[in-house]
Amino acid sequence: MLSVMLLSAVLCLAVAPAPASAAGTSAGQAVTNQAELRFRLTGASADGLLQASVDTLVDELLDVVVVSDDSGPVPVGSPSQQAVLQYSVTNTGNGNEVFRLVANPSVVGDEFDVTNPSLFFETNGLPGLQTGAGGDTPYTLGSNDPLLAADASLVVYAQVDVPSGLNAADIGLLELRAVASTVISNAGTDDPDAPAFPPVATAYAGAGDALSGPPVNAVVGTTHDSNNLLLRAAGAVQVSDEVLSLTKAAVAISDPSGGTTLVPGSLVTYELAVTVSTGATASDITITDPVPTDLIYQPGSLSVSTLPAGQEIDDDFEPAGVDSTGFDETTGTVRAVLGEVIGDGSTITIRFQAAVR
């Protein structure tokens, strides 16, 4: 009778909002139901009591919710590389379950497809994606599919590239879906749009997560409703003219008398700030700043907070072909070559000093 009751419950839930947490009693747990019959036989001086009980095991409900954690489209350039999107995957079923993750760039309703999607698990405890040694864990489909307990969540990062030739405001979507391995092994597909993908309340005999004892069934939950698939969600990148920003300011003035007036002999400290938006990648960045003829560049005053390997913060451009950051006396221009910058929202600062003639 319990199997019938659970199936009815699933059918009723199909029209209700998706569960935000695990579906009640753990899969495989025994539920004891005891009935009593009290009676008194004719002529007896005391009541009699009969009891009958039955133990039934709770089936596993297969439910998972995927959401995009980004507050809006991530700004990117065209082209750009390794833009980062963030998602959360939560097992809202009532048993332990392994999930396959699939990144799908072919989503209806956008202007372009992102390319080269790769997934990572948040594992090193630092906010945002870090790759390489000590970074977050790369995901390989079928190799390290995540095992999630009931109510457990996992942060997943998607790293994508953006093609060239796009227009400002163009949007590209990346859909992340999570599918229970129990569904895949029984239905033979991880694609919710495939005819073989199971509808809500599909039951797989003996395929559930039993705590102990006899196997239990696995029942497909409401997050698989084709009219409101909660097992997948789309994140977005958007081409922006504001991916790269440059500002310049005179941050300090020191005159010959120790004041801050701008007079002949005053020393002016200039600061240029370059920022690449988080998730965007800008390539071949070169900053040039011609020094006006009424100013004299101060040798050795140049500083750059971040430079590519091989670059030196000096004025001589040596060795030739490698060191291209410094002050060009021939053209009277400060130049800083930053190369490729993967945006994390931080600012690269360029400073130099010039004296008023």
Task: Give pLDDT tens digits for 43-76.
Answer: 777 776 776 655 566 889 999 999 999 999 998 8
Q: Kindly indicate the confidence band of residue 6, based on its pLDDT and cuts at 50, 70 and 90.
A: very low
- Determine the pLDDT at residue 168: 87
Mean pLDDT in residue range 246-272:
91
Q: What is the percent of the chain with per-residue pLDDT over 90, rounded to a whole number?
A: 58
Amino acid identity for residue 236 in this structure? A
Task: Give pLDDT tens digits for 334-347.
Answer: 999 998 888 777 88
15 pLDDT higher than 60: no
- Determine the pLDDT at residue 344: 76
- Determine the pLDDT at residue 14: 31
- Six-digit token string for 71: 């507050």
Q: Kindly indicate the confidence band of residue 16, based on its pLDDT and cuts at 50, 70 and 90.
A: very low
- Determine the pLDDT at residue 258: 92
Place of tokens 């379950």: 97
18 pLDDT higher than 80: no
CA 266 vs. chain centroid, Å, equals 50
CATH match of 61-239 with 2.60.40.10:
yes
28 pLDDT higher than 60: no
Residue 134 contacts residue 120 (beta carbons within 8 Å): no
- Six-digit token string for 189: 């597909």
Q: What are phi and psi of 224, to 5 degrees?
A: -95, 5
Residue 247 contacts residue 82 (beta carbons within 8 Å): no
281 pLDDT higher than 50: yes
Place of tokens 């004025």: 315
- Give the whole-angstrom CA distance, residue 240 versus residue 100: 33
Please name the residues in contact with 195: beta carbons below 8 A apart, sequence gap of 6 or more. none
166 pLDDT higher than 70: yes
pTM: 0.66
Residue 90 contacts residue 65 (beta carbons within 8 Å): yes
Task: Give pLDDT tens digits for 97-140.
Answer: 999 999 999 999 999 999 999 999 999 887 888 888 778 999 99
Q: Kindly indicate the confidence band of residue 321, based on its pLDDT and cuts at 50, 70 and 90.
A: confident
More confident residue, 252 or 342: 252
- Determine the pLDDT at residue 80: 83
More confident residue, 301 or 7: 301
- Determine the pLDDT at residue 37: 80
Mean pLDDT in residue range 75-91:
90
- Give the whole-angstrom CA distance, residue 178 versus residue 215: 24
Question: CATH 2.60.40.10 residue ranges in the chain?
Answer: 61-239
Q: Kindly indicate the confidence band of residue 350, based on its pLDDT and cuts at 50, 70 and 90.
A: very high
Q: Which residues pair with 99 in a beta bridge?
A: 180
Task: Give pLDDT tens digits for 210-241.
Answer: 656 678 899 999 999 999 999 999 999 999 87
Please name the residues in contact with 276: beta carbons below 8 A apart, sequence gap of 6 or more. 243, 244, 282, 341, 342, 343, 344
Task: State whether the Cα torsion 16-18-23-24 is positive or negative.
Answer: negative
- CATH fold of 244-356 reads Immunoglobulin-like (2.60.40)
Residue 193, CA distances (Å) to 162, 189, 224, 258, 321 in order? 26, 10, 11, 74, 54
- Give the whole-angstrom CA distance, residue 300 versus residue 141: 53
